Amino acid sequence: MKELEERIKKDGRILGTDVLKVDSFLNHQIDPTLMKKMGEEFFNVFKEKNVTKIITVESSGIAPAVMTGLCFDKPVVFARKHKSLTLKNDLYTADVYSFTKQTSNKISISKNFLNSSDNVLIIDDFLANGQAVKGLAEIVESAGATIVGAGIVIEKSFQKGRSIVDEKGIKVHSLARIKAFENGQVIFEEE
């Protein structure tokens, strides 16, 4: 998605060797107009797949997931990373290890909001080490539901997430695919 690539070039900041800071438009301050276009793009890619539900993980996946859900006119469910006061039992859970933060989180979705007849589209902001998509896929499998694919806003294709998700046979569509960070520049994969 050209507009996203341009925005990353303009406002993204590279931190260290492998982290892209995009908090001015994606995961702290949010640009709703750009986010809406992302939802439309995911809709165009997956519209033939009879999607019944969009799932993501809190917190940064929620904005693109909601915009996508709006286009499909289907519910959006976000996996929680923390126990909710009102959400105690009847949960699907998976362990997600964060390489960035070096912590493991249990993510969970209520059994009320996912069932075996669902065709699920997974949405997330980053595909880095693939742990979030892997955990969400495990949850979908526990529910006996079907994964139709994964829509990712920014994929860092130099990290191992893409191969983990490919190995699971999940169709991935990433709006921007970063091949490398070189001399302070973001290098994108050719479309």
**Positions that interact with ligand G4P (CB under 6 A):** 19-22, 27, 57, 59-61, 98-101, 125-132, 156, 161
4's CB contacts (< 8 A; 6+ apart) are: 34, 38, 153, 154, 175, 176
Tell me how far, at minimum, the Cβ of 62 lies from ligand G4P, in Å.
8
First-to-final CA distance of the chain: 9
What is d(CA 48, CA 27) in angstroms, rounded to the nearest whole number?
Answer: 29
Tell me how far, at minimum, the Cβ of 40 lies from ligand G4P, in Å.
22
Tell me how far, at minimum, the Cβ of 58 lies from ligand G4P, in Å.
6
What is d(CA 105, CA 101) in angstroms, rounded to the nearest whole number?
Answer: 10
Our CB check for ligand G4P shows the closer of 52 and 162 to be 162
Tell me how far, at minimum, the Cβ of 12 lies from ligand G4P, in Å.
9
E-strand ranges in 36-156 read 53-57, 76-79, 91-98, 103-110, 119-127, 146-156
| Beta-bridge partners for 49 | none
Helix (H) or strand (E) holding 176: strand 172-182
Our CB check for ligand G4P shows the closer of 52 and 63 to be 63
Our CB check for ligand G4P shows the closer of 12 and 69 to be 12
Our CB check for ligand G4P shows the closer of 91 and 165 to be 165
Our CB check for ligand G4P shows the closer of 142 and 159 to be 159
Tell me how far, at minimum, the Cβ of 13 lies from ligand G4P, in Å.
10
